[in-house]
Amino acid sequence: MILASNSPRRKEILENFGFSLEIKTKNIEEISDEKEIIKKVEDIARKKVMAVAMDNPNEFVIGADTVVVIDNKILGKPKSEKDIYEMLHLLSGRTHQVITSFSFINISKNIDIKDSQISDVSFKNISDEEIKWYIDTKEPFDKAGSYGIQGKGSYFVEKIDGDFFSVMGFPIGKFVRTLANIDISLEEIKKL
């Protein structure tokens, strides 16, 4: 199976479940004309996967997109330390949503699936000193919402209502259940 993502977290989650992966990505503009946030994230995930699937029409291609949402606003990856401060101040002491959408395509088999998992994540109150400490770890720079739940960013998390792996970057449980719906069994996963 081809993973249309350079995310080490997605690769780890899928390989830990038993998928054998080849990484292939294409640079696409991560924009969507969709208005609703979930549809927008699903559209971007599908565009990432379709760009790779077009060059590999007989292969199964999987990919995803993860965003952090608060006050109906998407928080993407930070571009600067200032972005990290602003995002973490916004998330401090509040509950936000993490939406991970996945797309699974095999053009020759006429498979084109997209779906999403939404999780609520509650943060403790975060001080400026804690934000500075976190920036110094370099961890928040490539993470949606400026934090990674699987690393030192876990320090900020008080509660998760949803799927931990989805917050980490890929809803493996929902994806595997989706495969079962199209008659791909747990035993067949190794062969994809």
The residues annotated with a catalytic role in the active site are 65
Distance CA 78, CA 70 (A): 15
Task: Name the nearest CA neighbour of 117 among 165, 82, 156.
Answer: 165
HEC readout, the chain: CEECCCCHHHHHHHHHHCCCCEECCCCCCCCCCCCCHHHHHHHHHHHHHHHHHCCCCCCCEEEEEEEEEECCEEECCCCCHHHHHHHHHHHCCCEEEEEEEEEEEECCCCEEEEEEEEEEEEECCCCHHHHHHHHHCCHHHHCHHHCCCCCHHHHHEEEEECCHHHHHCCCHHHHHHHHHHCCCCCHHHHHC
Distance CA 54, CA 157 (A): 39
